[in-house]
């Protein structure tokens, strides 16, 4: 979810490009302030990261955990950096003299500002307990180089000065760094001096940007397996079945911390657009994401009665503040509570304006049984059923789903009261349910049995993996994954689909690697599409039907089992990633197939022997020997047999994507 991959060189190259793109190339002004995070050695577990102390070892720290940050600072000139929640060798990262002074400023020459992760300064006294009070935590962080807090502790600096814990000169140093960033953004200059103030709002979601989103999605897709040349599929199929919990799900395309795209496409929508008008397209979800995680849908209007009766839906009272204060400025019946306001207030239409909504009415279940009721939203919400608080949430990070099982009777009216308050920049809320579980697999198997080809769209979801999530299921805890296998309900469906004997394509969506040994042996074609963004459905369809020739490569190792990995809390690199893993991976780092074939010849290394620090040039001739144009990603790895110090098995040192 929050990494470019497992290799420090690859992560550094992508990070440098991203920082340069965000900050712009003007010699005087910044387009924006790029802030690489989380500095440093921050990988969970989520449940203990606010108090966790990491001891990675000096070699692993310097060779694995720090190089990407160093490149972003030294090469790309990142103007800010964000500290991590955890401790490193006993020091809270947001108040670490080793990280923030010795490494960042003295060794790397960083002259920007440091910002804490949200709430990390509170952690210094509340969870790390290296000091006892907010005043001590604020003073410690500022003194050691954390200039800006995302949180509520730094107001205690006034009292910290009074107590003699920190001087005004130390605070002035932080303030100077923060104002320097504002000067570089042109915030105090006439707009005509600042080139980036001339960028019109119309560039947002412009045709050029939509095209870029599509190209990024295309280039990220990895073809893992293509036995017998099953892919690409013909567009004039008589019929195709598109099944799986991710087949028609938009949230899995966006990951966490996403914006709200204007015209996203799901795999199902993308496939429907690509096949011929005569092709019959069958769809069924087939399974939940994981055991105990049914897919939830907006409660339909037919099952909602507004307060006072009348048409279907719930009465919504809209307030122009986030605290339900005063009288509502708008009252209406909303047939569905299924809103994504795309950053604006539904009242003012202005970006970021606070507002709140209270919906009231009744829920009328169509059948007896156990339902799962809940809300997906950002920023804060509370759902009451018959006066009982069912779920609540307050999130500054990203939208969260909270749901509970309840037993309901058919035809009975249940009082529903939903309060939603927006105090962030991504207002959205959905009132959701999962009716009593039926036979999900049956319709999917029926669809597959009727079809000429089956595309199973499976994998993970940002509702299961992410930052500090209220999730506790088989294989998933708190946003972390405790197993890397394809979730059991999906694997069971996949096996039943394969047993039908139809041509079968497995598409995986997710933010991390999956262990799929059964699929790797029994499914003829497998595509990894990650969380590909707003154009993901279109890009995936282009790959499946051969309009685009895939050339993505794995930035992470796909292991055979979680048993191949050391314990989560062990930050030593021994046995981790392609650089140190001595087993046989299912799919190695850098793997990826194409609809073309490529031949390498005339490998040259100059000079053949090099002295310490001397530049070496490596070249090769690459020929497309296939029948269609395509991209090849040339990868250069090095190793040092017989090195006097421990070295990786191999290391990526260069790569180039070429079109032939």
In whole angstroms, what is the distance from residue 12 CA to residue 1 CA? 17
CB atoms under 10 Å from CB of 521, counted, come to 9
Q: What is the pLDDT of residue 1?
A: 67
Residues 453 and 532 in one domain: yes
- Per-residue pLDDT tens for 78-119? 999 999 999 999 999 999 999 999 999 999 999 999 999 999
Residues 6+ apart with CB under 8 A from 520: 224, 225, 526, 586, 587
Indicate the residue among 387, 418, 434 that finishes a domain. Answer: 434
Which tokens in the block code for residue 627?
């029948």
Indicate the residue among 389, 410, 434 that finishes a domain. Answer: 434
Residues 6+ apart with CB under 8 A from 39: 69, 81, 82, 83, 84, 93, 99, 104, 114
Which tokens in the block code for residue 247?
């087949």
- What are the angstrom distances between the C-alpha of 531 and each of 129, 173, 486, 534? 38, 41, 16, 9
Angle in degrees, CA 653, 659, 660, rounded to 5? 120
Which tokens in the block code for residue 213?
């989103």
| Range in 2-6, 173-177, 237-241 the model is least confident about | 2-6
Domain-located, residue 589 = no
Tokens 């049984």 belong to residue: 369
Domain-located, residue 79 = yes
Portion of the chain with pLDDT greater than 90, in percent = 85
Contact 112, 144 (CB under 8 A): no
Indicate the residue among 180, 198, 216 that finishes a domain. Answer: 198
In whole angstroms, what is the distance from residue 33 CA to residue 80 CA? 7
Residues 310 and 373 in one domain: yes
Residues 410 and 312 in one domain: yes
Q: Between residues 553 and 399, which one has the greater pLDDT?
A: 553
Residues 458 and 479 in one domain: yes
Sign of CA dihedral 288, 291, 297, 302: positive
Known catalytic residues are 117, 465
Computed over every residue of the chain, the mean pLDDT equals 95
Residue 414's CATH number: 2.60.120.260
Residues 6+ apart with CB under 8 A from 369: 407, 408, 435, 436
SS3 content of the chain, % helix, strand, coil (to 5): 25, 25, 45
| Range in 42-46, 114-118, 206-210, 418-422 the model is least confident about | 42-46
Domain-located, residue 1 = no
3 state DSSP class of 137: helix
Domain-located, residue 586 = no
Domain-located, residue 521 = yes
Q: Quick check: pTM over 0.85? A: yes
- What are the angstrom distances between the C-alpha of 341 and each of 111, 156, 206, 243, 319? 38, 36, 19, 30, 15
Assess whether pLDDT exceeds 90 at residue 353.
no
Residues 622 and 525 in one domain: no
Which phi-psi region, left, alpha or beta, contains residue 119 (left: φ > 0; alpha: ψ -120 to 50)?
left
Sign of CA dihedral 325, 330, 335, 339: negative
Residue 190's CATH number: 3.20.20.300
Output the DSSP codes for 162-173.
Answer: HTTSS-HHHHHH
Q: Provide the domain limits for residue 315.
A: 297-434
Where are the extended beta strands (E) located within 323-424? 330-334, 338-340, 355-363, 369-378, 380-385, 388-394, 400-408, 414-422
In whole angstroms, what is the distance from residue 227 CA to residue 526 CA? 9
Q: What is the pLDDT of residue 64?
A: 97
Residues 379 and 452 in one domain: no
Helix axes 536-544, 207-220, angle to 10 degrees: 50
Give the residues across from 617 on adjacent strands.
606
Contact 491, 515 (CB under 8 A): no
| Range in 48-57, 104-113, 590-599 the model is least confident about | 48-57
Task: Classify residue 238 by its DSSP letter.
Answer: S
Quote the radius of gyration of the chain (alpha carbons, Å).
27
Reference 568, options 12, 5, 47, 38; nearest CA is 47
Confidence of residue 312 (pLDDT cuts 50, 70, 90): very high
The mean pLDDT value for 35-41 works out to 96
Residues 288 and 301 in one domain: no
Residues 188 and 272 in one domain: no
Residues 424 and 314 in one domain: yes
Residues 154 and 274 in one domain: no
Assess whether pLDDT exceeds 80 at residue 52.
yes
**Total structural domains within the chain:** 4
Domain-located, residue 359 = yes
Confidence of residue 220 (pLDDT cuts 50, 70, 90): very high
Give the residues across from 651 on adjacent strands.
638
Residue 551's CATH number: 3.40.50.1700
Residues 623 and 567 in one domain: no
Residues 183 and 218 in one domain: no
- Per-residue pLDDT tens for 242-261? 999 999 988 877 777 777 78
Angle in degrees, CA 434, 382, 476, rounded to 5? 55
The mean pLDDT value for 428-439 works out to 90
Assess whether pLDDT exceeds 80 at residue 581.
yes
Domain-located, residue 42 = yes
Domain-located, residue 587 = no
């Amino acid at each position: 979810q929050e990494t470019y991959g497992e290799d420090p060189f690859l992560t550094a190259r992508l990070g440098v490009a991203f920082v340069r793109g965000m900050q712009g190339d003007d010699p005087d002004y910044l387009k924006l302030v790029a802030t690489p995070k989380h500095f440093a050695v921050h990988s969970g577990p989520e449940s203990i990261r606010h108090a966790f102390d990491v001891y990675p070892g000096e070699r692993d720290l310097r060779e694995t955990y720090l190089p990407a940050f160093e490149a972003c600072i030294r090469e790309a000139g990142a103007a800010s950096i964000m500290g991590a929640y955890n401790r490193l060798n006993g020091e809270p990262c947001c108040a670490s003299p080793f990280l923030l002074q010795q490494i960042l400023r003295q060794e790397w020459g960083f002259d920007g500002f440091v910002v804490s992760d949200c709430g990390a300064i509170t952690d210094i006294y509340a969870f790390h307990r290296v000091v006892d009070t907010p005043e001590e935590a604020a003073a410690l962080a500022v003194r050691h180089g954390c200039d800006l807090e995302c949180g509520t502790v730094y107001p205690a600096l006034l009292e910290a000065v009074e107590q003699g814990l920190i001087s005004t000169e130390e605070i002035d140093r932080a303030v100077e760094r923060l104002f320097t960033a504002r000067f570089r953004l042109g915030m105090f200059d006439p707009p005509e001096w600042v080139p980036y103030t001339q960028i019109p709002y119309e560039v947002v979601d412009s045709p050029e940007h939509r095209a870029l989103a599509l190209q990024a999605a295309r280039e990220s897709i990895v073809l893992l397996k293509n036995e017998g040349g099953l892919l690409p599929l013909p567009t004039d199929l008589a019929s195709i079945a598109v099944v799986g919990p991710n087949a028609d799900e938009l949230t899995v395309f966006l990951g966490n911390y996403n914006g709200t795209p204007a015209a996203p496409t799901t795999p199902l929508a993308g496939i429907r657009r690509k096949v011929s008008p005569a092709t019959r397209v069958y769809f069924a979800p087939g399974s939940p994401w994981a055991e105990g995680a049914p897919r939830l849908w907006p409660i339909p209007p037919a099952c909602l009665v507004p307060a006072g009766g009348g048409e279907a839906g719930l009465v919504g009272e809209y307030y122009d503040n986030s605290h339900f204060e005063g009288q509502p400025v708008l009252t209406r019946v909303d047939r569905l509570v299924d809103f994504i306001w795309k950053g604006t207030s539904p009242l003012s239409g202005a970006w970021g304006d606070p507002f709140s909504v209270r919906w009231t009415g009744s829920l009328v279940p169509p059948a007896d049984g156990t339902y799962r009721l809940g809300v997906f939203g950002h920023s804060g919400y509370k759902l009451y059923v018959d006066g009982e608080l069912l779920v609540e949430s307050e999130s500054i990070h990203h939208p969260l789903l909270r749901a509970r099982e309840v037993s309901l009777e058919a035809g009975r009216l249940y009082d529903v009261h939903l309060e939603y308050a927006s105090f962030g920049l991504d207002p959205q809320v959905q009132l959701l349910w999962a009716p009593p579980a039926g036979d999900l697999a049956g319709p999917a198997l029926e669809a597959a049995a009727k079809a000429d080809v089956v595309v199973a769209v499976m994998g993970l979801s940002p509702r299961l993996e992410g930052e500090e999530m209220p999730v506790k299921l088989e294989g998933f805890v708190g946003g972390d994954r405790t197993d890397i296998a394809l979730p059991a309900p999906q694997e069971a469906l996949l096996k039943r689909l394969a047993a039908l004997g139809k041509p079968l394509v497995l598409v995986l969506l997710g933010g991390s690697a999956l262990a799929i040994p059964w699929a790797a042996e029994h499914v003829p074609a497998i595509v990894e599409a990650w969380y590909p963004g707003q154009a993901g459905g279109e890009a995936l369809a282009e790959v499946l039907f051969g309009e685009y020739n895939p050339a993505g490569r794995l930035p992470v190792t796909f292991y055979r089992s979680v048993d191949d990995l050391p314990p989560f809390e062990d930050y030593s690199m021994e046995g981790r990633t392609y650089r140190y893993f001595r087993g046989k991976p299912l799919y190695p780092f850098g793997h990826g197939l194409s609809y073309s074939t490529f031949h390498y010849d005339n490998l040259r290394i100059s000079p053949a022997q090099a002295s310490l620090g001397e530049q070496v040039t490596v070249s090769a001739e690459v020929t497309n020997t296939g029948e269609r144009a395509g991209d090849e990603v040339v990868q250069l790895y090095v190793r040092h047999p017989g090195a006097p110090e421990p070295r990786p098995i191999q290391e990526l040192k260069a790569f180039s994507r070429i079109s032939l």
